[in-house]
Chains A and B, each alone.
Chain A
Amino acid sequence: MSHLEDGHDHILPATTYYGIFAVLMVLTAATVAAAFVDLGPLNIIVALAIAVVKASLVVLIFMHVKYGDRLNWVVVGAGVFWLFILLSMLMLDYSSRGWMNVPPIQHVS
């Protein structure tokens, strides 16, 4: 199942960490650069996509999930999925506001 039995870790070479750091820096620059370009509705999608890639690199490499017990994958996945449940089912309500012909909400007068 994993490298457990002898209690030793999977030790990554230092260069891997530096490499990932470099990629994270590039992606940070890309996020900022993309923000200054008018992509319309795609701006938020690009920003979130880059953030997800960055987070994934940190989770998989820095936090050793790629090399560790499968169970930790499930835990991470479950956490992300549950956040997704909260956000998407919230949107069930808010995205359908105004679908019926009721007067729109007066947010602020």
Chain B
Amino acid sequence: MSDAALTQGLHAAHHPRQMHHFDSMAQQKETATFGMWVFLVTEIMFFGGMFAAYMLYRMWYFPGFAAASSELDITLGGTNTVVLIGSSLTVAMAVHAAQLGKRNQTVWLLIATGVLGVVFLVIKYFEYKVKFAGHHLPDGGMIWLFPGREFQLGPFIYGGFDVSQSPELAPIASQVRIFMVIYFALTGMHALHMIIGIGILAVILRMAIRGEFSKEWHIPVEIFGLYWHFVDIVWIFLFPLLYLVHRHG
């Protein structure tokens, strides 16, 4: 707790990056790290709401979930998993380099992380495009938010049939629609967090290029790393839950 604060009489050499309301760099670093962890807990609960919905509807609508999951591209999903875990490695190494005060290494590893993040999003874009083209969308009809520019998401086609024409497939179709809502909600929210992460990464990268980090002060890299790892962990759960529901038999 406040052990660091007990050294309050000793801050003779005041590091330029130490903020006025802290008594030491150690206190500042521990506070920043702790703050990021508390924030990540809020993210656990945020995604948790969607996981709750997933859990319920997987239990109720397993056939539809199995069918819809099998339509997802497991190669793209698996590649994305490797890409994202790889980016966790690069960001962990970037923190490592920052801890050792190695500016160039930190910069290159941050760039690598960003590149891998962009690769992930590009692959996601292609996945979504396939879904749009194949009409595997939840299909709510017109988006009235854009009056005058309504567009149809398209009829729902499952297994080659337009289920609006085949009433006996209707139950599966509804179940698949529920899955697709959850798929887009989860992966969309995840992608949004990736985009925000890449944005923050750009800021951190700029600081690294300008040599602002040192052995004594590299907190932004560390807490960014925590955020990035968390986004990776969410995907570690999303991949099996969305892509691997029923791949056998």
Inter-chain CA distance A83–B233, complex, in Å, is: 15
A108's contact among B44, B51, B100, B171, by CB below 8 Å, is which?
B171
Q: Is the CB of A37 within 8 A of B248?
A: yes
Q: Is the CB of B29 within 8 A of A47?
A: no
CB distance from A23 to the nearest CB of B (A): 10
- 8 Å CB contacts to A: which residues of B48-84? 48-49, 51-52, 55-56, 59-61, 74, 78, 81-82
Inter-chain CA distance A86–B52, complex, in Å, is: 7
B233's contact among A17, A28, A59, by CB below 8 Å, is which?
A59
Q: Is the CB of B24 within 8 A of A1?
A: no
Inter-chain residue pair count (beta carbon < 8 A): 140
**Number of chain A residues whose Cβ lies closer than 8 Å to a Cβ of chain B:** 51
- 8 Å CB contacts to B: which residues of A24-38? 24-25, 28, 31-32, 35-38
**Number of chain B residues whose Cβ lies closer than 8 Å to a Cβ of chain A:** 58
CB distance from A22 to the nearest CB of B (A): 10
Q: Is the CB of A28 within 8 A of B37?
A: no
Interface of chain A, main secondary structure: helix
Q: Mark B209-249, 1 if CB is under 8 A from A, else 0.
A: 00000001000000001100100110011011100101111
Given contacts A5-B4, A54-B233, A75-B34, 10 further A-B contacts (CB under 8 A): A1-B3, A6-B26, A7-B216, A24-B85, A31-B244, A32-B78, A55-B236, A69-B30, A69-B34, A79-B40
Residues of B within 8 A of A (CB): 3-4, 7, 24-26, 29-30, 33-34, 37-38, 40-41, 44-45, 48-49, 51-52, 55-56, 59-61, 74, 78, 81-82, 85-86, 88-89, 92-93, 96, 99-100, 170-171, 174-175, 216, 225-226, 229, 232-233, 236-237, 239-241, 244, 246-249
- 25 residue pairs A–B, Cβ–Cβ below 8 Å: A1-B3, A4-B26, A5-B7, A14-B96, A21-B85, A32-B244, A38-B248, A47-B244, A54-B233, A54-B236, A58-B229, A62-B229, A63-B225, A71-B34, A72-B34, A75-B37, A75-B41, A76-B40, A79-B45, A83-B44, A83-B48, A94-B56, A107-B60, A107-B171, A108-B171
